[in-house]
Structure formats: structure tokens, C-alpha cells
Amino acid sequence: MPPFQILTIARLTAKKGLPTIYQALRILCDQGIRLRHTHIGGGEDRELIMSLIKKLDLESVTELLGTQPHEVVSDHYRDADLFVLGCEVAPNGDRDGIPNVLAESMAMGLPVVATRISGIPELVENERTGLLVPPGQPAKLAQSMLRLLTDEELRNRCIAAGKKQVTQTFDNRQLIRELAGIYHNEGLGPGLRAGGRGHGAGG
């Protein structure tokens, strides 16, 4: 039962489109939807995002956890009802390819809403393995988030197809190593240690 648990794992940087996510959360709250949003990941825009959260009066329903170890990230994947990512082209032209956190979410059976940009549609097929919206459009993002939270048939279909897509696209052991390497290179976590498991959080 609500409040719905919504998760975002991404660096606090312009190309991740975090303001669009928080504006979408405000829209859902104004519609009377009970929710909690958790963000995991560090980055240079932390103060900017904290100011936006305060401006939108979302402090009581959101939390910024910063960088977290693999075990904590995994717990949040398991507890969440929805994963959302708002990637866009940054003012300097920077953009994502296919954020690995989308593949990880889908592998964990967590339905995803993301933006139709760069390589994301190669992994997230709209209405089949998740929902896609144009970048920078919080109203459409909010609408798609609500659909995946409340439409059980759509939700179950996307979860099943998403798991299958990731299984077909990625070798799981290789995916884990690639994720760990990316987290390590972006300074988000310790990476994969010899003989052990672990990664931080980011996209």
C-alpha cells in the first residue's frame, strides 16, 4: 500500500535531469499521491538539488543518501516500487549512453520510467520493458510514473519483459564487473575488489 517507494540512482549532475524528476514528484503530490523518493549518488549539483527540493516543498517525502555501498543499494532496489531516471542533454552537450542502473533495475525486477534519449530506447522499449517520455517534461514523467505504480497489468508485463531483455542483452557476471568499473571510475564507490563484491551508486 502507499506511500509508493520511488528510487533514483544517479550522479547529481545536469545530464541526469534530476530537476524534472522532482518537478514530477511535486505534480504527483499535488494529485494526492502518497510517495517517498530516495536518491542515491553524489555529485557537484548536490546543493542545487537540495535547494530545488526545498523550493518545491518536498523535504518531507524525499531523501538524498549520497554514495552508498553495494549492500545498501541492493536493499533499496528490493524495497522500491519504481525506478525513475530523467536523463537529458546537459547545457554543455554532455549526455548519457545507456545508464547501467537501468539494466540493473530491470534485472532486479524493478519497473523503470526513463527518458527517450541517446541509447536508452535500445534497452527500455516503451510499453514493453518500461515507459519512456521526452526529456524535460515533468507532467509526462509524472503521468508515466503513476501508470507503472498503479496499472498492475502493465507493471507485471514490463517487469517480466525487462528481466528477459537484460538476460538476453547482458551476461550477468560481465554486467556486474562493468557496473563496478563504472562506479569506481566516476568516484561513486570502491569498485569490485579482488575476491569480493561491492559498488557504490550512480548512473
pTM of the model: 0.83
Inter-axis angle of helices 18-30 and 138-150, nearest 10: 60
The contacts of residue 58 (CB under 8 Å, 6+ apart) are 22, 25, 26, 29, 37
Cell 544517479: give the residue: 10
Q: Tell me the domain boundaries of the chain.
A: 4-185
Per-residue pLDDT of the chain (203 residues; tens, 9 = 90+): 679 999 999 999 988 899 999 999 999 999 999 999 999 999 999 999 999 999 999 999 999 999 999 889 999 999 999 999 999 987 777 677 778 899 999 999 999 999 999 889 989 999 999 999 999 999 999 999 999 999 999 999 999 999 998 887 766 555 556 655 555 555 544 333 323 333 344 44
Domain 4-185, CATH number (from 3.20.20.100, 3.30.365.10, 3.40.50.2000, 3.30.1950.10): 3.40.50.2000
